Structure 1
Amino acid sequence: MSADTNKQAADTTDVPHPLGPVGHGGDGHLKAGLKNRHLSMIAIGGVIGAGLFVGSGAGIASTGPGILLSYTLAGVLVVLVMRMLGEMAAADPQSGSFSAYADRALGRWAGFTIGWLYWFFWVVVLAVEATAGAKILNTWVPGVPQWGWALIVMGVLTATNLFSVASYGEFEFWFAGIKVVAIAAFLVIGTLAAFGLMPGTHAVGTSNLTGQGGFLPHGVGAVFTGMLTVVFAFMGSEIVTLAAGESEDPEKAVSKATNSVIWRIGIFYLGSILLVVTLLPWNSAEVKASPYVAVLDHVGIPHAGQVMDVIVLTAVLSCLNSGMYTASRMAFSLGQRGDAPKAFATVTSRGVPRVAILSSVVFGFVAVFFNYTSPKTVFAFLLNSSGAIALFVWLVICATQLRMRKIIEREMPERHTVRMWLYPYLTWFAIGMIGFVVVYMFTDHDGRQQMYLSLVAAAIVLGASAVVGRRRRAAVAAES
């Protein structure tokens, strides 16, 4: 054995790595309750979040038409990371996905750390999305206070997730379906308007792309600043690889999802943003406030603001639904591997990890509470300390895939159906891209704060990993 192989064996022999975590409800395993149509829509809708409909305005305002380059660079990175993750998930579907693979390929410390950081990211997202949804609902029914709406929304979706994984899948199927129909309709309307085929419009050409200061009005550096915002909009693409573990045909689902990520990003993100900056001046106040509403108003669609509120609310509910699911499945996987309380790994007769779901939701409720009582202190810390976790997750996926490729080829070559392109060169290229974004974050004021606080969160979890590992080794030594 080589030194690397010996190290790997030492890191992974103390606890077995469960394969095939899906079974019948009540046998200690999750239940395969997601149908192929659920997985397909989760994969398609997973990249369409409220950040696209609303948050993209800030990126356009700070970067100009060059935001298209920001989306392209971030999109290339996501495609590469998803391909790596798809290779591992198709060979070995796990409820813990990249955390379980990191556990096996890099060591217990890596699986523990990235698993808990990812869980932390999503429970903070629960608070953000619950508050965003509550604000919209409060404008419709002001008689119910915002905190009341947040409570109602969290309660309904918690009940849905507790009932069965099929309930989660069905809700997400329709949430994602509405988002896909909305963005598809926007693409059709925007394209017709760009060519002057809508009543009251005329062909605009490239005047908005090259005028108003040019394609890069703030210089090349703004492209990378814009990329900092864009990168985090793509977080959630990986959810389908966690959900695949509870599907009827995980290998097929993962393969289909990873193969389609290119056109999903290309059409939904690049296509729609291209229409926005083509139809309207990038520096208009309307585009900064809500780019999609601005375009719909421009082409004369009545009640565009109200229509977009419905779509954004759907995106928020979709993110909440997926956040609960994702956080609970990561907690379940950590419990299975002994990196979280054993109760997290228990399931109901329906195959639902109830304790893992409730624990995640409780933290989400606490975060919602702080969002109302201490928005500029406690909640700001929670939000900023989870800001760079997407980059940490992607970096770990890349490092894991470098080793997991050899493990898959050695132990399960017949399941090696999805392969990373140009391995290991594109893997190292992705690592380099992530490293560049990390370094660049230190040059940006907001990015710097997020990176520092995220590193603090990572250090805390890494320290907890060391303590748990020490206790585990002491327990093994005592038994022997």
Structure 2
Amino acid sequence: MTSAQVAKEHEGGEGNRPEEGYERGLGSRQVQMIAIGGAIGVGLFLGAGANIAKAGPSLILMYALAGVIIFFIMRALGELLLYRPVTGSFAEYSREFLGPFFGYFTGWTYWLMWVVTGMAELTAAAIYINYWFPGIPQWVTALVFLIVLFVANLISVKLFGEIEFWFSMVKVTAILGMIVIGLGVLTLGFSQAGDTAAVSNLWAFDGFFPKGVGSSLMTLQGVMFAYLAVELVGVTAGESDDPEKTLPKAINTLPWRIALFYVGALTVILCVVKWTEFADEGSPFVKAFEVIGIPAAAGIVNFVVLTAALSSCNSGMYSTGRMLRTLAENGEAPRVFRKLSSTKTPALGTGVSVIFMGIGVVLNYTVPEKAFGYVTSVATAAGIWTWLMILVSHVRYRRAVVAGRLPSSAFPAPGGAKLSWVAIVFLLFVTGLIAYDADARVCLYVMGGWYVALVIGWSVLKRRDPQVTARRREPEFEKL
């Protein structure tokens, strides 16, 4: 019996609790664009500039290397999604293959990741608006964005998907435009950059690794932040109208998305503009447009980055509400979060998450600028934990398949568990780099405090309802 047949046979049963009641309102077009948009964010539009200053042209290799690992992670997730497509997939697979505590920890940590990301992105969006309207108080703009996106998430999942579709279209169009214009400069020599633009810029100024391999490796933590949210397609599983077709298609397009939007865009930019001209702050896209001589370059990129920030916040609201409902379904969050609104959205869970994001707006308004970097580093650490849980769950699933306890997924990952182990080692290496960096390691302290808080919460759950903490989700196919 195939995974699709089993899922259909058990539809509405215990195994499908986390997605019960949701509207399958995300079509192929929307899932595809959510997947594309998830790979393009502020980490590329802004963060790449500082990393170019640290690593030079070798940053292209770092994005390519990390992109390969991200593909391994997504193929592992894809195999699990076709085994059992559910909303809140990361927590569900951790619960099933590693035990209830890991499901609890992963669900709450993914919620934390999106809440702190929402805090940062809302504040960033307000700053971007100040570029055009400096007289508007920052907190007013942030509050308006918070309310508008919250209302959109409450109306229906279709509206969320449509907003995310157009946000992603803006980002994709901007990058494609940069690539086409850059290639025109390189091949035809037009624009103010025509005399200095050349492929040789990739090695002509102190080589491909101008500051050494070590400096290049230290940029991996920032590179991994840029890839946060690619796993969002897994959260959409329970609301995709045809997950067995849309999810594999979305995941299989990841290599060309990474090759085009990250490796391709950075390669063109670093051919058009010498890496030595990039500073620790500022967008590489703004710099490239300015060197080429495009009018209003800063305004164009500012609009695109604003879109990227709002897209990230929109996705955060979507994810947090659904993850809280998954936790509530398993008794790991207040039961009230199980309820869906009349439009089949987890309105209360999304609302509570929005309140926490709003607190972040107030805090970011009063703290120094360095706080933005701290918040994003916490999001990266939480994201690495999520990716690790996906990989470890995949390894355990593959063992069950080999042992004959579970049938193969309709979308098996190439290389089986071997490539998941490669990705696990890589993520642990990046964690070590974070610990080595004095500025970034603060996120590990925060995650340590988060772990203590969740352990305390687990102890409270254990006293109130021993069955919740003792329950390990029974794999769907072991019941047949």
Query: Is residue 155 of structure 1 aligned with residue 157 of structure 2?
Result: no
Deviation (angstroms), 1:456? 2.6
Query: Is residue 19 of structure 1 aligned with residue 13 of structure 2?
Result: no
Match of 1:108 in 2: 100
Counterpart amino acid of residue 305 in structure 2: V
Counterpart amino acid of residue 341 in structure 2: T
Query: Is residue 452 of structure 1 aligned with residue 449 of structure 2?
Result: no
Normalization by structure 1: what TM-score? Answer: 0.89
Q: Of the candidates 91, 94, 110, which is equivalent to residue 86 of structure 2? A: 94
Deviation (angstroms), 1:70? 1.3
Decide whether aligned partners of structure 1 residues 443 and 476 sit closer, same or farther in structure 2, where only a CA change above 3 A counts.
Answer: closer
Worse-superposed segment, 368-377 or 57-66: 368-377
Counterpart amino acid of residue 15 in structure 2: P
Q: Of the candidates 394, 401, 407, which is equivalent to residue 413 of structure 1? A: 407
Match of 1:473 in 2: 466
Query: Is residue 249 of structure 1 aligned with residue 242 of structure 2?
Result: yes
Instruction: Confirm or deny: 8 A CA contact 1:86 1:255 kept in the other structure.
Output: yes
Query: Is residue 209 of structure 1 aligned with residue 202 of structure 2?
Result: yes
Instruction: Confirm or deny: 8 A CA contact 2:101 2:469 kept in the other structure.
Output: no
Sequence identity percentage? 37
Normalization by structure 2: what TM-score? Answer: 0.89
Counterpart amino acid of residue 347 in structure 1: L
Match of 1:397 in 2: 390
Counterpart amino acid of residue 130 in structure 2: N
Worse-superposed segment, 454-463 or 42-51: 454-463
**Distance in 2 between residues matched to 1:93 and 1:315, nearest whole Å:** 27
Query: Is residue 261 of structure 1 aligned with residue 261 of structure 2?
Result: no
Deviation (angstroms), 1:431? 1.1
What CA deviation, in whole Å up to 9, does each residue of 1:376-415 have, x standing for no partner? 799887555444112111111111111123456757637x
Match of 1:303 in 2: 296
Deviation (angstroms), 1:36? 1.3
Instruction: Confirm or deny: 8 A CA contact 2:100 2:469 kept in the other structure.
Output: no
Counterpart amino acid of residue 442 in structure 1: A
What CA deviation, in whole Å up to 9, does each residue of 1:323-349 have, x standing for no partner? 110111111111111111111111012
**Distance in 2 between residues matched to 1:186 and 1:461, nearest whole Å:** 44
Q: Of the candidates 279, 289, 293, which is equivalent to residue 282 of structure 2? A: 289
2:440 counterpart SS class: helix
**Distance in 2 between residues matched to 1:288 and 1:382, nearest whole Å:** 17
**Distance in 1 between residues matched to 2:56 and 2:14, nearest whole Å:** 48
**Distance in 2 between residues matched to 1:136 and 1:235, nearest whole Å:** 21
Deviation (angstroms), 1:286? 5.8
Decide whether aligned partners of structure 1 residues 378 and 425 sit closer, same or farther in structure 2, where only a CA change above 3 A counts.
Answer: closer
Q: Of the candidates 364, 368, 371, which is equivalent to residue 364 of structure 2? A: 371
Worse-superposed segment, 319-328 or 147-156: 319-328
2:247 counterpart SS class: helix
Structure 2 spans left out of the alignment, 5+ residues: 1-12, 471-480
Instruction: Confirm or deny: 8 A CA contact 2:120 2:372 kept in the other structure.
Output: no
Worse-superposed segment, 437-446 or 378-387: 378-387
Instruction: Confirm or deny: 8 A CA contact 2:321 2:353 kept in the other structure.
Output: yes
Match of 1:44 in 2: 36
**Distance in 2 between residues matched to 1:379 and 1:57, nearest whole Å:** 16
Deviation (angstroms), 1:469? 3.4
Pairwise CA RMSD: 2.3
Query: Is residue 170 of structure 1 aligned with residue 162 of structure 2?
Result: yes
Counterpart amino acid of residue 219 in structure 1: G
Decide whether aligned partners of structure 1 residues 306 and 42 sit closer, same or farther in structure 2, where only a CA change above 3 A counts.
Answer: same
Deviation (angstroms), 1:196? 3.3
Query: Is residue 434 of structure 1 aligned with residue 427 of structure 2?
Result: yes
Counterpart amino acid of residue 443 in structure 2: Q
Instruction: Confirm or deny: 8 A CA contact 2:462 2:468 kept in the other structure.
Output: no
Instruction: Confirm or deny: 8 A CA contact 1:94 1:242 kept in the other structure.
Output: yes
Decide whether aligned partners of structure 1 residues 227 and 476 sit closer, same or farther in structure 2, where only a CA change above 3 A counts.
Answer: closer
1:120 counterpart SS class: helix
Decide whether aligned partners of structure 1 residues 300 and 468 sit closer, same or farther in structure 2, where only a CA change above 3 A counts.
Answer: same
Counterpart amino acid of residue 359 in structure 1: V
Worse-superposed segment, 63-72 or 371-380: 371-380
Instruction: Confirm or deny: 8 A CA contact 1:45 1:176 kept in the other structure.
Output: yes
Worse-superposed segment, 228-237 or 378-387: 378-387
Instruction: Confirm or deny: 8 A CA contact 2:74 2:231 kept in the other structure.
Output: yes
Decide whether aligned partners of structure 1 residues 344 and 301 sit closer, same or farther in structure 2, where only a CA change above 3 A counts.
Answer: same
What CA deviation, in whole Å up to 9, does each residue of 1:255-285 have, x standing for no partner? 1111111111111000011112211121214
Instruction: Confirm or deny: 8 A CA contact 1:52 1:233 kept in the other structure.
Output: yes
Match of 1:138 in 2: 130
Counterpart amino acid of residue 159 in structure 1: V
1:446 counterpart SS class: coil
Decide whether aligned partners of structure 1 residues 138 and 56 sit closer, same or farther in structure 2, where only a CA change above 3 A counts.
Answer: same
Deviation (angstroms), 1:305? 0.7
Instruction: Confirm or deny: 8 A CA contact 1:63 1:216 kept in the other structure.
Output: yes
**Distance in 2 between residues matched to 1:55 and 1:476, nearest whole Å:** 40
Q: Of the candidates 442, 449, 455, which is equivalent to residue 462 of structure 1? A: 455
What CA deviation, in whole Å up to 9, does each residue of 1:143-181 have, x standing for no partner? 321100000000000000011111101111111111111
Match of 2:353 in 1: 360
Instruction: Confirm or deny: 8 A CA contact 2:37 2:168 kept in the other structure.
Output: yes
**Distance in 2 between residues matched to 1:332 and 1:358, nearest whole Å:** 12
Count of matched residue pairs: 456
Counterpart amino acid of residue 244 in structure 1: A
Match of 1:9 in 2: none
Counterpart amino acid of residue 162 in structure 2: E
Deviation (angstroms), 1:300? 2.0
Match of 1:6 in 2: none
**Distance in 1 between residues matched to 2:446 and 2:205, nearest whole Å:** 37
Decide whether aligned partners of structure 1 residues 261 and 163 sit closer, same or farther in structure 2, where only a CA change above 3 A counts.
Answer: same
Counterpart amino acid of residue 411 in structure 2: V
Counterpart amino acid of residue 314 in structure 1: T
Q: Of the candidates 297, 308, 311, which is equivalent to residue 315 of structure 1? A: 308
Counterpart amino acid of residue 211 in structure 2: H
**Distance in 1 between residues matched to 2:19 and 2:378, nearest whole Å:** 33
Instruction: Confirm or deny: 8 A CA contact 1:99 1:110 kept in the other structure.
Output: yes
Deviation (angstroms), 1:452? 2.8
Match of 2:474 in 1: none
Match of 1:11 in 2: none
**Distance in 2 between residues matched to 1:274 and 1:248, nearest whole Å:** 37
**Distance in 1 between residues matched to 2:53 and 2:413, nearest whole Å:** 36
2:365 counterpart SS class: helix
Matches within 5 A, 1:44-83: 44-83=36-75
1:420 counterpart SS class: coil
Decide whether aligned partners of structure 1 residues 392 and 92 sit closer, same or farther in structure 2, where only a CA change above 3 A counts.
Answer: same
